Amino acid sequence: MDQKKGNRPPDPQSLRDALRHSPLGRWLDERETGLVLGTGRLAEMRAGDVLFREGDEIRHVPFVLSGEVKLVKMGPQGREYVLHLTRGGAFPDPGALFYEAPLPATAVALGPGRLLWLERATMDRLLDGNPRLARWLLQVLAARQRLFVNKVAGSQGMISVSRRVAGWLLHRSRMEEGRRQLELPGTRELMARLLGLSRESLSRELNELAREGAIRLERRRVELLDMAVLERRAQD
């Protein structure tokens, strides 16, 4: 995505409001917020917009304020492997703040939303002087690494379908501050690819969880009803 395309002229109050209502903004004081206001840019995104591509080297890192973004890697014959789905309040790839090599994956918008482009140099300065911000980003990176480890283990047949689905639902709830009503990402097919499953296997497992009373399924939502059942399945 061309960072200039669709960008509005910097509006300090809009940027300040966007930061204040995001997880990132919780760790910034007024001086630090001012640094971001001076270098950050708001942008709109539409379905299909490419925020960055595998192999890019970028000086500004996107932070999703609203909407949903998929992080993908392309395989042979153009097959798309979904690595992660990001909703508002997160980085599509937090590692982009630190990579000293070209980006390892591509980020694509799944629908309309808003982005805050953060200058890497500014974030470097903030991290040098703000240990709470640095710790939060380490926690974000650790959670992402855990997901990737489980995804690789699942692809090798080391983690059951039941464990993968329950673990993902619990992770999504934690990332959304303990919410029990979750928006399902995109389509069932997209969610299945994210978990390394067939669509049929995913549907069977979700229906089984619903029959057990652990979740309630709606068209694009799932409500977590029995956390104990989900925790048990995630650890089996």
- Residues 161-196 have pLDDT tens digits of 888 899 889 888 887 778 898 887 777 888 888 888
Q: Which domain holds residue 189?
A: 160-235
- Domain match, 78 and 17 both: yes
pTM: 0.76
Number of folded domains in the chain?
A: 2
Query: What is the reported pLDDT for 173?
Result: 87
Closest CA to 69 of 52, 54, 57: 52
Domain boundary among the residues 79, 114, 130 is at 130
Query: What is the reported pLDDT for 168?
Result: 87
Is residue 4 assigned to a domain? no
- Domain match, 125 and 213 both: no
Q: Give the confidence band of 11 by pLDDT, cuts at 50, 70, 90.
A: low
Mean pLDDT, residues 94-113: 95
Strand bridging mode 215-217 / 80-87: unpaired
Is residue 140 assigned to a domain? no
Mean pLDDT, residues 47-69: 95
Is residue 146 assigned to a domain? no
Is residue 210 assigned to a domain? yes
Query: What is the reported pLDDT for 75?
Result: 80
Q: What is the CATH number of the domain that holds 114?
A: 2.60.120.10
Tell me the C-alpha distance between 14 and 42, whole Å: 8
User: CA separation (Å) from 72 to 75, 84, 152, 177, 198?
Assistant: 10, 7, 15, 25, 17
- Domain match, 112 and 23 both: yes
Instruction: Name the CA dihedral angle for 55, 80, 160, 212, rounded to a multiple of 10 degrees.
Output: 120
Q: Give the confidence band of 2 by pLDDT, cuts at 50, 70, 90.
A: very low
Q: What is the CATH number of the domain that holds 171?
A: 1.10.10.10
